């Protein structure tokens, strides 16, 4: 599919991609160097205890040095707008896909350089190139340079996680008052919808960077929750440029024991909001009985969920040390968090919650299982899904609703091209439209915006230079 407008790229110096290539990527690359360096230094400290072990440690340290050299060179070349190198044949998926596109860009007027290539392509390529540096080693191939950062950030958001579980408990007790959880009286259905609105809003703002979305919630009774919820919604309303939650609810209500899919975005707190939302749908509605979560198979856009992250997030909440380090265990006096997590583990064990690949899938794994799980880490816009990842496309057609989380998924849904902001979401989806019911929950962190009326978009472009990119605005589209 060829859209009628060109992609965003850094040749427009006023766009966010220019700032990204100039400043943000070098910072990310430096943080990877620092991490590998720090871990290599820790290895140094272990030398000398056992001669057999020393040989392996020394080999690992030497490989770490090589990785750092690669990344330093990459930074140097990026800053000078050099050609983007081919991805070496490292045995993991998508090498040919990225290299063919590099070749096409080269032939198209030499656009295969860091400051000329389309932003979406170049950013996906960057994470795949980084991955190749680690895969080609013997001792770092399972290493995720962002893992520690993801877990640390999650530790920092412990308080909000606790609030989420407390809110969940409120929910549960309210629904018990209604009567049989799955026997929805008309009164019950109305309350259920209010709770659904809380849940989807939490899940939407879970994609924001400031993690402050739950600060409006207090642990009072349902009436209070309802009022607080509405107040909060009112406050956030002006920042939700398009809110299709009613249609989403209609879609969900049309299911019976249906399946929902989450195309995941970030690990840690955002993932928790996805799990809480899923738990609500499965436990307290008759509409959904299965949720499939789609992770990334390699470290991706710093914070995206990989299978090891998924496990680490759920495990961390059950792990005494993690809870202690956050004083979470002590604050969870009523055991809300513990019972919520116990239920998630049961759902994971009986398949109510499932990853799209086995939970034990290592980084870079998942090949040859017919799931096309590697599609999520290609540069393809989702309008190419039917042709590029037919098995995945066919599988998602079995779903009652596919929820695409976050900004990158939105960029891929719309192709990251310069649609006028008042283009309809459906048009921007291209051939993906109508394939399966889908909803996008996104806070704006990139230039591309669709489905906003012309006056609003033009006014914001003049009044508020950062409205497209700083995460304050959001949208839900179905």
Residues binding ligand F6P (CB under 6 A): 123, 207, 265-266, 301, 406-408, 411, 445-446
Supply φ then ψ for residue 42, to 5 degrees: -60, -35
| CB closer to Mg ion, 265 vs 274 | 265
The binder of 123, among ligand F6P, Mg ion, none, by C-beta within 5 to 8 A per type, is ligand F6P
Query: Which pairing describes strands 438-443 and 474-477: parallel, antiparallel, or unpaired?
Result: antiparallel
| CB closer to ligand F6P, 301 vs 393 | 301
Question: Strand, coil or helix: what is 467?
Answer: coil
The binder of 132, among Mg ion, ligand F6P, none, by C-beta within 5 to 8 A per type, is none
In the beta sheet, which residues pair with residue 243? 476
Candidates 113, 136, 266, 476; binder of Mg ion (CB under 5 A) is 266
Structure tokens at 299: 């470290």
| CB closer to ligand F6P, 258 vs 406 | 406
| CB closer to ligand F6P, 195 vs 446 | 446
Q: Give residues with Cβ within 8 angstroms of 63, minimum separation 6.
A: 137, 138, 139, 140
Task: Confirm if 65 and 39 have CB atoms less than 8 A apart.
Answer: no
Closest contact distance (angstroms) between CB of 375 and Mg ion is 16
Using the rule CB under 5 A, is 123 a contact of Mg ion? no
CB neighbour class for 228 (10 Å; exposed up to 12, middle 13-18, buried from 19)? middle
Sign of CA dihedral 218, 222, 227, 231: positive
| CB closer to ligand F6P, 248 vs 413 | 413
Closest contact distance (angstroms) between CB of 470 and ligand F6P is 9
Number of residues near Mg ion (by CB under 5 A): 4
| CB closer to ligand F6P, 105 vs 448 | 448
CB neighbour class for 121 (10 Å; exposed up to 12, middle 13-18, buried from 19)? buried
The binder of 264, among Mg ion, ligand F6P, none, by C-beta within 5 to 8 A per type, is none
The whole-angstrom separation of Cα 82 and Cα 115 is: 8
Using the rule CB under 5 A, is 144 a contact of Mg ion? no
Closest contact distance (angstroms) between CB of 338 and Mg ion is 28
| CB closer to Mg ion, 119 vs 168 | 119
What end-to-end distance do the CA atoms of the chain give, in Å?
21
Closest contact distance (angstroms) between CB of 468 and ligand F6P is 10
The whole-angstrom separation of Cα 241 and Cα 101 is: 34
The whole-angstrom separation of Cα 28 and Cα 25 is: 5
Closest contact distance (angstroms) between CB of 330 and ligand F6P is 31
The binder of 416, among Mg ion, ligand F6P, none, by C-beta within 5 to 8 A per type, is none
Q: How far is CA 60 from the centre of its chain?
A: 31
Q: How far is CA 364 from the centre of its chain?
A: 17
The binder of 411, among ligand F6P, Mg ion, none, by C-beta within 5 to 8 A per type, is ligand F6P
Candidates 123, 244, 304, 447; binder of Mg ion (CB under 5 A) is 304
Using the rule CB under 5 A, is 265 a contact of Mg ion? yes
- Which positions lie near Mg ion, rule CB under 5 A? 265-266, 301, 304
């Amino acid at each position: 599919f060829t859209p009628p407008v060109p992609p965003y790229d850094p040749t427009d110096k006023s766009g966010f991609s220019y700032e990204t290539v100039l400043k943000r990527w070098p910072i990310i690359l430096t943080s990877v160097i620092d991490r590998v360096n720090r871990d290599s230094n820790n290895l140094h400290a272990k030398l000398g205890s056992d001669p057999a072990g020393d040989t392996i440690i020394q080999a690992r340290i030497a490989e770490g040095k090589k990785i750092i050299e690669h990344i330093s060179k990459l930074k140097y070349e990026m800053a000078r707008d050099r050609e983007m190198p081919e991805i070496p044949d490292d045995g993991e998926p998508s090498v040919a896909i990225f290299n063919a596109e590099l070749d096409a860009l080269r032939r198209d007027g030499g656009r295969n350089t860091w400051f000329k290539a389309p932003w979406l392509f170049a950013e996906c390529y960057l994470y795949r190139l980084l991955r190749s540096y680690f895969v080609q080693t013997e001792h770092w191939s399972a290493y995720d340079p962002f893992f520690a950062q993801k877990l640390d950030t999650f530790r920092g958001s412990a308080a909000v996680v606790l609030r989420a579980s407390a809110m969940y408990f409120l929910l549960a007790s309210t629904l018990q008052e209604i009567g049989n959880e799955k026997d929805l009286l008309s009164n019950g259905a109305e309350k259920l919808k209010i709770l659904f609105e809380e849940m989807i809003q939490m899940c939407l703002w879970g994609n924001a960077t400031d993690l402050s979305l739950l600060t409006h919630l207090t642990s009072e009774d349902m009436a209070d929750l309802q009022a607080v919820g509405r107040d909060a919604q009112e406050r956030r309303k002006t920042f939700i440029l398009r809110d299709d939650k009613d249609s989403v609810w209609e879609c969900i209500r049309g299911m019976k024991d249906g399946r929902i899919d989450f195309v995941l975005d970030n690990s840690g707190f955002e993932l928790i909001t996805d799990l809480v939302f899923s738990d609500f749908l499965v436990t307290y509605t008759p509409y959904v009985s299965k949720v499939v979560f789609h992770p990334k198979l390699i470290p991706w856009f710093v914070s995206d969920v990989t299978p090891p992250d998924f496990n680490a997030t759920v495990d961390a909440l059950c792990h005494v040390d993690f809870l202690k380090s956050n004083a979470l265990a002590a604050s969870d006096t009523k055991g809300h968090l513990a019972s919520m997590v116990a239920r998630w583990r049961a759902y994971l064990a009986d398949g109510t919650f499932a990853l799209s690949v086995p939970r034990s899938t290592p980084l870079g794994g998942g090949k040859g299982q017919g799931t096309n799980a590697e599609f999520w880490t290609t540069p393809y816009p989702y309008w190419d899904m039917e042709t590029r990842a037919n098995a995945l496309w066919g599988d998602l057609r079995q779903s009652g609703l596919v929820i695409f989380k976050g900004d990158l998924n939105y960029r891929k849904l719309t192709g990251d091209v310069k649609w006028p902001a008042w283009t309809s979401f459906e048009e921007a989806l291209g051939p993906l439209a109508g394939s399966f019911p889908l909803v996008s929950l996104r806070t704006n962190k990139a230039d591309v915006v669709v489905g906003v009326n012309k006056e609003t978009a033009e006014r914001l472009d003049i009044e508020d230079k950062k409205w497209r990119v700083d995460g304050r605005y959001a949208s839900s589209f179905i």
